[in-house]
Structure formats: C-alpha cells, structure tokens
Amino acid sequence: MNLAEGVQIVSFGILAVMLIGTALTVVLSSSIVYSAFMLGGVFISMAGMYLLLNADFVAAAQVLVYVGAVNVLILFAIMLVNKRQDFAPFPSAGVRKVFTGIVSIGLFGLLSAMVLATPWAYSTTPVAGESSIVVIGEHFFTDFLLPFELASILLLIAMVGAIILARREYLPDQATPSTILTLPERPRELVSAGREPQD
C-alpha cells in the first residue's frame, strides 16, 4: 500500500464517521433546527465520498444543489414557520414505531443484499485525462437523451403545479369589481373649497 492509498483510506474513514454521526444526529436530535444543520453535514460528507470516487461533477452538484439550495430552503422554512408547540404523543404511537422498525429492517436487508450482490470491481479502465463531466455530458446527449429531456419536462410540470397550488389560496372565488384597488374619492364640495375632510 502506497501513500496515496493510505490517504484515501484515512479520508474514507473520516468521511464515514462524519456521515454516520451527522445522520444519527439528524434522526435523534430533539431540535429541528439542529437536525437541519446536521443534514447539511450529511450532504457535505456525501460530496467528499464522491470526490474520493473521482466523481467531481457529482460532488459539486451535491454541494451546490443539496447544501446550497435544498438545505438552505429547509432552514428558511423551519425558521419562518417557527411553530412553538410541544410534541404531543399519539394514541397509536406504539403501532407506528413497530411498523417503522419493520420497514427500516426491510430496507436495510434490501440494501445489504444489493451491496453483497453488486460486483464492485472496475468494469472499464478510465481514460487518462478525461474528466467525469465530459463522460456525463456525452451520456446525457447520446445514450440518455430521451430520459434527460423527459426529466426536465417533469420538473417543469412539477414547478408549474407547485406555483398553482401555492397561489390557489390567493385566487378569488368569483370575479370582484376593480373598484377595490381604487382610493375612495373625497366629496366634491370639499375638494372645490380646498378643505380636507374631517373625521
């Protein structure tokens, strides 16, 4: 084992500990603000994992999209809502915990089976000097052009639907006259006399 492999192993260990620690803090923290901050740590740890895998574009997208947009949006939503209400226990909390445990164990089993069944050896040798951005761009516009365009259309539809749902409460049920937006007129005799109306 040379120096580069040792640095990669140590970096992977630090990122793995950081990822597991921040993920557990997200789940176990009683403060939702701290959970949102720790979620940013999870995203940054994942970006470091992508860098270790030589996926520089995916790492940059992880930081820009998830840390810079999604996590900041979650924090703004939490701080704007600022709902000060204690957690009230539900009557069926025990059943929900059992159901959540069963689903979590099932997902863990599926992921473990996928990890064990996946051949992790390199299938192709990477081209020297070729960036992952070039490879992703070539695949996006050759092999995966139709799914890429369909995904962009679906995202556009979702964005338009979110805007319509968000503005629905502001839309009036029936047409209201446009005189609502006009200022009330002063009586003509007061205007002609140059006097201001008194309350």
Biggest alpha carbon distance in the chain?
98
Q: Write down the mean pLDDT value for the chain.
A: 78
Domain boundaries, the chain: 1-82, 131-171
pLDDT for 34: 87
pLDDT for 123: 55
Residue 144 has which token pair?
């995966």
d(CA 59, CA 65): 10
d(CA 60, CA 55): 9
pLDDT for 89: 65
The tens digit of pLDDT for each residue in 115-170 reads: 899 887 765 555 555 677 888 888 888 888 888 888 889 888 888 887 777 665 55
Mean pLDDT of 77-106: 76
Q: CATH class for domain 1-82?
A: mainly alpha
